Structure 1
Amino acid sequence: MSSMSSTPTPDQIPIEEQPVLEALVSIKHRLTAIKKDRSRFIKTSAVMAHYDELSVQLQKLEEIRGAGNSTIWGYRNNVNNVLDEVFVILSLCFMAVGKTKESPATYVQLLTIKAD
Structure 2
Amino acid sequence: FVTFDNRGYGRSSSPLTIHYSTTQMAKDAIALVNHLQWHQCHIVGISMGGMIALEFALLAPEKVLSLTLLATHAGGLAGRAPFVGIRHMTQSILLRDEDLLVENTMTMLY
Normalised-by-shorter TM-score class: under 0.3
TM-score, normalised relative to structure 2: 0.24
More helix by share: 1
TM-score, normalised relative to structure 1: 0.23
Which structure has the larger Rg?
2
More strand by share: 2
